[in-house]
Amino acid sequence: MCTDFSIISWNVCGGTNKIRKRHHKELARRYRPSLFALLEIHVNFLSGYTLVAFSKAQGYAGGIWIISSISYVSLSTLDITRQCVTIQVSMGSSSWFLSAVYISPIPGVQLQLWDYLNTIKLKVQGL
Protein backbone atom coordinates (compact mmCIF):
# COMPACT_ATOMS: atom_id res chain seq x y z
CA MET A 1 0.00 0.00 0.00
CA CYS A 2 1.24 3.49 -0.83
CA THR A 3 1.60 5.79 2.20
CA ASP A 4 2.32 9.08 0.44
CA PHE A 5 -0.56 11.38 1.18
CA SER A 6 -0.88 15.11 0.58
CA ILE A 7 -3.68 17.67 0.75
CA ILE A 8 -4.02 21.07 -0.87
CA SER A 9 -6.60 23.47 0.48
CA TRP A 10 -7.32 26.38 -1.85
CA ASN A 11 -9.81 29.24 -1.76
CA VAL A 12 -10.73 29.33 -5.43
CA CYS A 13 -12.75 32.58 -5.10
CA GLY A 14 -15.36 31.34 -7.54
CA GLY A 15 -12.99 29.78 -10.07
CA THR A 16 -14.97 30.93 -13.07
CA ASN A 17 -12.05 32.25 -15.10
CA LYS A 18 -9.48 30.36 -17.18
CA ILE A 19 -6.53 31.50 -15.02
CA ARG A 20 -7.91 29.75 -11.92
CA LYS A 21 -8.68 26.58 -13.85
CA ARG A 22 -5.17 26.61 -15.31
CA HIS A 23 -3.72 27.19 -11.82
CA HIS A 24 -5.69 24.18 -10.50
CA LYS A 25 -4.26 21.96 -13.23
CA GLU A 26 -0.75 23.25 -12.48
CA LEU A 27 -1.14 22.54 -8.75
CA ALA A 28 -2.38 19.02 -9.54
CA ARG A 29 0.47 18.38 -11.98
CA ARG A 30 3.23 19.80 -9.80
CA TYR A 31 2.22 18.48 -6.36
CA ARG A 32 -0.05 15.51 -7.20
CA PRO A 33 -2.17 15.91 -4.06
CA SER A 34 -4.17 12.96 -2.81
CA LEU A 35 -6.99 15.34 -1.84
CA PHE A 36 -7.99 18.86 -2.79
CA ALA A 37 -10.17 20.89 -0.44
CA LEU A 38 -11.59 23.62 -2.68
CA LEU A 39 -13.31 26.57 -1.00
CA GLU A 40 -15.65 29.15 -2.54
CA ILE A 41 -16.01 26.92 -5.57
CA HIS A 42 -18.76 27.64 -8.07
CA VAL A 43 -17.66 25.63 -11.13
CA ASN A 44 -16.47 22.12 -11.97
CA PHE A 45 -12.83 21.52 -11.04
CA LEU A 46 -12.79 17.71 -11.13
CA SER A 47 -10.27 17.29 -13.97
CA GLY A 48 -9.11 13.74 -13.17
CA TYR A 49 -10.37 13.79 -9.57
CA THR A 50 -13.40 12.17 -7.97
CA LEU A 51 -15.85 14.20 -5.91
CA VAL A 52 -15.82 12.88 -2.32
CA ALA A 53 -18.14 15.36 -0.57
CA PHE A 54 -19.44 18.87 -1.14
CA SER A 55 -21.44 21.74 0.26
CA LYS A 56 -23.17 23.88 -2.38
CA ALA A 57 -22.41 27.56 -2.68
CA GLN A 58 -25.18 29.92 -1.63
CA GLY A 59 -25.16 32.59 -4.32
CA TYR A 60 -21.61 33.95 -4.39
CA ALA A 61 -20.72 32.73 -0.88
CA GLY A 62 -19.37 29.40 0.26
CA GLY A 63 -19.09 26.19 -1.64
CA ILE A 64 -16.75 23.46 -0.40
CA TRP A 65 -15.61 20.48 -2.44
CA ILE A 66 -13.31 17.69 -1.32
CA ILE A 67 -12.00 15.82 -4.33
CA SER A 68 -9.65 12.83 -4.50
CA SER A 69 -7.20 11.31 -6.94
CA ILE A 70 -6.50 8.10 -5.00
CA SER A 71 -8.09 4.68 -4.69
CA TYR A 72 -5.95 3.07 -1.97
CA VAL A 73 -7.85 4.70 0.91
CA SER A 74 -11.46 4.66 2.02
CA LEU A 75 -13.11 8.09 2.13
CA SER A 76 -16.47 8.52 3.80
CA THR A 77 -18.53 11.60 4.56
CA LEU A 78 -19.10 12.24 8.25
CA ASP A 79 -21.03 15.53 8.08
CA ILE A 80 -21.79 18.48 5.78
CA THR A 81 -22.93 22.03 6.54
CA ARG A 82 -22.72 25.29 4.57
CA GLN A 83 -19.43 26.13 6.33
CA CYS A 84 -17.79 22.73 6.86
CA VAL A 85 -17.38 19.36 5.18
CA THR A 86 -15.92 16.58 7.35
CA ILE A 87 -14.74 13.24 5.99
CA GLN A 88 -13.10 10.16 7.47
CA VAL A 89 -9.95 8.90 5.76
CA SER A 90 -9.11 5.23 6.40
CA MET A 91 -5.86 3.57 5.35
CA GLY A 92 -5.57 -0.03 6.49
CA SER A 93 -6.04 -0.10 10.26
CA SER A 94 -5.57 3.65 10.78
CA SER A 95 -8.03 6.45 10.17
CA TRP A 96 -8.30 10.18 10.72
CA PHE A 97 -10.71 13.02 10.00
CA LEU A 98 -10.48 16.02 7.73
CA SER A 99 -12.68 19.09 8.01
CA ALA A 100 -12.59 21.63 5.19
CA VAL A 101 -13.91 24.91 6.58
CA TYR A 102 -15.19 28.03 4.86
CA ILE A 103 -15.68 30.77 7.46
CA SER A 104 -18.46 33.20 6.73
CA PRO A 105 -17.58 36.89 7.03
CA ILE A 106 -20.74 37.37 9.13
CA PRO A 107 -19.81 37.40 12.88
CA GLY A 108 -22.97 35.63 14.09
CA VAL A 109 -22.51 32.85 11.55
CA GLN A 110 -18.86 32.50 12.62
CA LEU A 111 -20.02 31.80 16.17
CA GLN A 112 -22.34 29.09 14.86
CA LEU A 113 -19.35 27.50 13.13
CA TRP A 114 -17.35 27.32 16.37
CA ASP A 115 -20.29 25.64 18.12
CA TYR A 116 -20.59 23.21 15.22
CA LEU A 117 -16.85 22.39 15.30
CA ASN A 118 -17.13 21.54 19.00
CA THR A 119 -20.03 19.22 18.14
CA ILE A 120 -17.98 17.52 15.40
CA LYS A 121 -15.08 17.11 17.85
CA LEU A 122 -17.37 15.24 20.26
CA LYS A 123 -18.80 13.14 17.42
CA VAL A 124 -15.31 12.14 16.23
CA GLN A 125 -14.15 11.32 19.76
CA GLY A 126 -17.14 9.00 20.10
CA LEU A 127 -16.23 6.94 17.01
Q: Determine phi and psi for 34, rounding to 5 degrees.
A: -70, -40
Domains annotated for the chain, with CATH where assigned, are 7-125 (3.60.10.10)
- Do 87 and 123 meet the contact criterion of CB atoms below 8 Å apart? no
Instruction: With 0.85 as the threshold, say if the pTM is over it.
Output: yes
Alpha helices in the chain (DSSP H): 18-31, 107-125
CA 71 vs CA 49, 59, 97: distances in Å: 11, 33, 17
Give the residue among 20, 18, 19 at the shortest CA–CA distance from 10: 20
pLDDT of residue 81: 94
pLDDT of residue 107: 87
> What are the per-10-residue average pLDDT scores of the chain (127 residues)?
80 78 88 92 80 88 90 94 95 93 88 93 89
pLDDT of residue 64: 94
- Do 55 and 82 meet the contact criterion of CB atoms below 8 Å apart? yes
Q: CB under 8 Å to 2, separation ≥6 — which residues?
A: 70, 72
